[in-house]
A and B are shown apart, each in its own frame.
Chain A
Amino acid sequence: MLFSSIPFLYYFLPVVLILYFLAPKILKNPVLLISSLVFYGWGEPKYVFLMIATVLEGYIFGLLIDKFRGKPSSKIFMIISVLLSLAGLAYFKYADFFISNFNSVTGLSVPLLRLALPIGISFYTFQILSYTVDVYRGSVAVQKNPVNLATYIALFPQLIAGPIVRYADVEVQLTKREHSFDKTAEGCRRFILGLSKKILIANTLGELCETFLQTPDTSVLYHWLFVTAYMQQIYFDFSGYSDMAIGLGKLLGFDFMENFNYPFIAGSITEFWRRWHISLGSWFRDYVYIPLGGNRVKRARLLLNIFIVWFVTGFWHGAEWNFIIWGLYFGILLTLEKFFYLKNIERHRFLGHIYVLFFVAISFMIFSAPNMTEAVVRLGGMFGQGGIPFASAEFWYQLKNYGFVLIIAGIGATPIAKNGAYWLQSRIKKKALFDVLEIIVLLLLIIVSSGYLADGSFNPFLYFRF
């Protein structure tokens, strides 16, 4: 089920909130768990059983790791748990990738499995991994209540598109949550803003991207318009989902970590990745990069560590070579920054912005393609390969058609709007006026977003690969 859908907004969510707040404290987690399973099963009912099996695996191995703490078997149970979790991910997400590459190399024709990817498997697998590893490390206490652990894994606000919530971050909140009007109001704000970012901005720019991908009237400038729109679409879609998840979390008494912090204002690629999909970056840092030795190793080993981290980061995003190349591309840029010019570009902030936007645009073109062959074609199109004209009639039309949305998106991707709101708040003498204005704006956003949904407008789900 999508957050940005009428079934979620006006059927699922109100019922869940009523049940949740009517339920006594002891039943709040069971209500959340059952709701989350319904939410998950809505898209692919059979995979609810996979989700339950995954939770049971994490639960049982968590207990075993804890029981044999201090003994070698504890480490063995942790390794088995990690391997089981990764095996599930490998089977459902990567099996066809491995088979097709095996077929290409050997010339054989091993049939593909063509499995439907369980939605959100990459997210909840990483959550279970973090739980069992943290139990092994002793940084969190084992969860003896299976309902609480299942609630953490399956919790619907962050289930299908993150942020990747660490068990350590919500360990206490699973049993002790604060509900207040301040927190609920903040949850409402975040949810409505996220919903609007997704429906009004991301989906509108998504229409432009779809139009580009289907047009025969392409051109160099149209490629650049596409990649600009695509960057913004992904940002507003993904950060909008994270806002909705954080907002829903607050409504239910949880505090999830921030996942985006205006990544397009970064002055270096290093800074970009500190601002983009923060929960994923920090997960790879804590569970892959640092266990490999981090940067306290010799240069050759450090390069290998960076290679491994960015290889898996790319691979996590999709089972195709273009995602691996996409990850390694960032790995190379980050390595170059680390060893050669990070300090220089940090001194020239404006040039740093241009540099980031250019290289991130290239990366998104790779990311946008279904495979590496198509990625090469699209990259070539950005630089005039394929004999395409510099500009086309459709480019000029779509520039006029979507230009204003792109400007709004460009401003929205920076702190200007937020700072503007703070400035306005400080300038209005009657604070109540600003408060009323805020409520009106939020109500209007609900109405307009509902209008887009009722119209059946373009509303893609971008996380089917994750």
Chain B
Amino acid sequence: MKNKSKVLTLIIGISIFLITLLCWTFPKQEYSESERRPLAEKPELSIGTILSGEFMEGFEKYVVDHFPKRDNFRRVKALFSEYVFNKKDNNSLYFADGHISKIEYPENIEMLDHAQERFDFLYDSYLKDKNVNVYLSIIPDKNYFLAEKNGYLSIDYDEFIESFKNRVDYMNYIDLVPLLSIDDFYRTDSHWKQENIVDIAEFVAESMGTQAKSQYTVNTLEKPFSGVYLGQSALPVEPDTIKYLTNDILDSCKVNYYDTGMAVSGDIYNMEKAMGKDPYEMFLSGTTPLVTIENEKASSEKELVVFRDSYASSLVPLLVPGYSKITVVDIRYMQSNFVGNFIDFDNQDVYFMYSTTLLNNSLAMH
């Protein structure tokens, strides 16, 4: 090529300056839909922030977060990592059997100690010597079905579950594992699909001595569901679809949310959140410290208290037919020592329902 150096210089130079121009002028956004997080704000420019280094630190985060077409560039990175470097995971996320999942490894004994300590506290403070039946289920995350068989690092789930059961042997264990398969989970998210866990709800109710059988109408959410792993992985995978189950019993329930300590009435399915950043939050309004569901059409007077993580959001509605009242507590958003202010523990079933992911990362339990 004649003038090879000239052509190379001009093409590279123009490309760099074009990206520069886009960096400087591209419209800024406040929120990343794909990563479900607020993006860094422009740092304050002052002598003080410059001398302290705050401006520079903030600016570096700001320009990374607002890089033009950032999701596309992240996808380039994800694809390069997978297909050129032949890396098995990208930021601990991997794609196998049509699912995106996040490696959960290694088993964290300190976190298990913390979870046990919280459960012991709840039991000793509210449940011991009371007229209550205490149950536990541990929900295996998607890696249980995907990791080992696809050559990814995996904790020994059977040993994990067995050892935690033994730590809290005052609880009656309800084993859900035989009823689960990878198809019961969203492809792009960590959670399970409500339409696939009706049998699990029936089994749980039966194990606690009640019946939760009911007929449901399956509704499909129009908005595509890009699960939490889809945005994080930046991989080109089709979003999921959320389906939710309704019937007369669920429609007639009286539901109260206690986000601020005061009761605010609502519905089992929050359709506003269904259209929001994380549509899975439509189930029991997502992250809520305390929810009560009263069912006047219940076949028994039994009450249930559920200590839970987000997996329970979609399962608890399916337990409603079996109970006159269900109280759902999330000790990630409520101090355990406040629980007694809201619940009088007497003559109830108490169900601890936690995923392996949360137990292995239990620092958020208060």
Q: Which A residues lie at the B interface, using CB under 8 A?
A: 1, 5-7, 9-11, 13-14, 42-46, 180-182, 184-186, 188-189, 192, 200, 204, 215-217, 393-394, 397, 400-405, 408, 431-432, 435-436, 438-439, 442-443, 446-448, 450-457
State whether the Cβ of B42 lies closer than 8 Å to any Cβ in chain A: no
| Interface footprint category on B | 35 or more
Give A42 to B234 CA distance when docked, in angstroms. 31
Of B12, B64, B91, the residue contacting A454 (CB under 8 A) is B64
Q: Tell yes or no: B8 within 8 A of A by CB.
A: yes
The 6 closest A-B pairs by CB, nearest first: A185-B5, A451-B77, A451-B76, A404-B86, A454-B73, A435-B1
Known: A181-B9, A192-B12, A400-B88. 13 other contacts (CB 8 A): A6-B64, A7-B60, A45-B53, A181-B5, A189-B8, A204-B81, A215-B106, A404-B85, A405-B85, A447-B76, A451-B73, A452-B77, A457-B91
Subset of 9 A-B contacts with CB under 8 Å: A11-B23, A14-B17, A185-B8, A185-B9, A402-B87, A404-B86, A443-B15, A448-B77, A457-B91
Name A405's closest neighbour in chain B (CB-CB). B85
Contacts of B5 in A (CB 8 A): 180-182, 184-186
Interface residues of B in 72-96 (CB under 8 A from A): 73-78, 80-81, 85-89, 91
Given A46-B51, A439-B7, A448-B77, are A5 and B85 also a contact pair (CB < 8 Å)?
no
In whole angstroms, how far apart are the Cα atoms of A186 and B5 in the complex? 8
Contact of B151 among A45, A189, A400 (CB under 8 A): A400
Query: Using Cβ atoms and an 8 Å threshold, which residues of chain A touch B77?
Result: 448, 451-452, 454-455, 457
- The reply to whether the CB of B59 lies closer than 8 angstroms to some CB of chain A is yes
Q: Tell which of A13, A401, A435, A439 touches B12, judged by Cβ atoms closer than 8 Å.
A: A439
Cβ-based interface call for B70 (8 A): yes
In the complex, which residues of chain A have a beta carbon less than 8 angstroms from the beta carbon of B91? 455, 457
Partner of B50, one of A5, A45, A217, A394: A45
B153: interface (CB < 8 Å)? yes
Contact A188 B12 (CB under 8 A): yes
Contacts known (A10-B20, A405-B87, A450-B73); A435 close to B59, Cβ less than 8 A: no
Distance in Å: Cβ of B235 to nearest Cβ of chain A: 12
Given contacts A192-B12, A405-B85, A435-B1, contact A397 B76 (CB under 8 A): no
- Please tell me if the beta carbons of A45 and B64 are within 8 angstroms of each other in the complex: no
Contact check, A6 vs B60: say whether CB atoms are below 8 A apart.
Answer: yes
Do A453 and B64 touch across chains, with their CB atoms under 8 A apart?
yes
- Docked pose: A180 CA to B59 CA in angstroms: 34
A14 vs chain B, min Cβ distance (A): 4
Q: What residues on B are CB-neighbors of A215 within 8 Å?
A: 106
Query: Could you tell me the distance between the alpha carbons of A451 and B5 in the complex, rounded to whole angstroms?
Result: 26
When the two chains form their complex, are residues A188 and B9 in contact, meaning their CB atoms are under 8 A apart? Answer: yes
A7 to chain B, nearest CB (A): 6
User: Is B6's CB under 8 angstroms from A454's CB?
Assistant: no
Contact (A454, B74) CB under 8 Å given A9-B16, A439-B8: yes
Q: Is B3 an interface residue (CB 8 A)?
A: yes
Query: Are A401 and B87 in touch, CB under 8 angstroms?
Result: yes
Residues of B with C-beta under 8 A to A186: 5
Which residues does chain A contribute within 8 Å of B76, judged by CB atoms? 447-448, 451
Q: Which residue of B lies closest to A397 (CB)?
A: B153
- B85–A204 contact, CB under 8 A? yes
Q: Which residues of A contact B78 (CB under 8 A)?
A: 455
Provide the bound-state CA to CA distance between A454 and B106, in Å: 28
B151 touches A397 (CB 8 A): yes
Please indicate the chain B residues that have their CB under 8 angstroms from the CB of A401 in the complex: 87-89
Bound together, the chains give a CA A446 to CA B87 distance in angstroms of 20
Are A397's CB and B88's CB within 8 A? yes
Determine the residue in chain B with the shortest Cβ distance to A17.
Answer: B13
Q: Establish whether residues B60 and A435, one from each chain, have CB atoms under 8 Å apart when the complex forms.
A: no
Central interface residue in A403, A408, A435, by most chain B CB within 10 Å:
A435
B19 contacts A450, C-beta separation under 8 Å: yes
Which partner residue on chain B sits nearest A116 by CB separation? B53
- Once bound together, how far apart are the Cα atoms of A354 and B106, in whole Å? 35
Which of the residues A45, A402, A405, A431 comes within 8 Å of B51, measured between beta carbons? A45
Q: Which residues of B contact A448 (CB under 8 A)?
A: 76-77, 80
